[in-house]
Structure 1
Amino acid sequence: MKEQQMRHFEGFYSIIDYTVPASESVTSVAEAFGRIQRDWVAQYKGFVSARFLAKTDGSTVRVIVEWVDENAFHDFERNSDTQRRIGALNDAFQRLSTTGSRQTFTAIGEVLPRQAARN
């Protein structure tokens, strides 16, 4: 059987981790930062999606923000109302007793299910 190769794909990702003060706060943290994504990010050209994941122990909400490419992300950062967006983020951080950290990644490949696994 032929070995499956990693498939090339493109995209740029901003990964944001928000600490959660108590596991029952996961939904509140996701909703608050989801609102910020809708209000301050989603309308920019090149934005693809923001996916929210909760760590199984309830300690972290991870947001995977996908952009069509790195240029779209940097255009957003240059052209968005950064001061007001950061103000909204800081309000949420304070209200929810959380912090956030962001890293950025460029897509380099993916592995898809083998044919037998798809059936």
Structure 2
Amino acid sequence: MWSCAVSLTGDNLYITNSSQHKLLTLARDGSVLATFMDPEVQYTTGVHVTPAGQVLVCGCNSKTIIQVDSKGQRKLATLATVRDGLQGGSWSVCYNSNTDSIIVGRVNNNKILMYEVQ
């Protein structure tokens, strides 16, 4: 397991399993509610829950950031890729509701990336 985030209601726990390229959604009692995998997302690292309840997930090796539904079952969008500056891979992700931006920490790089959400 690499990283975790909690849903706004506290009912779900989202965990990235980097070596198996998975996002797991667990209930409070620890039971697995969903297992999400996508070939576009390799070596899942950071995970973050937005105020709207959507889940952001980093694919470090695939150099992608995706958005997953609150059930952890379905990809809603690809938010960033190498074309958007993720050449070094993404390590962590956070949504800033004050600036409507996504902040991405990169692996082996002392710089962060910020993307404005439209």
Same fold, TM exceeding 0.5? Answer: no
If the length of structure 2 is used for normalisation, what is the TM-score?
Answer: 0.30
Higher relative contact order (CA 8 A, sep 6+): 1
More strand as a share of residues: 2
More helix by share: 1
Larger Rg: 1
Q: TM-score, normalised by structure 1?
A: 0.29
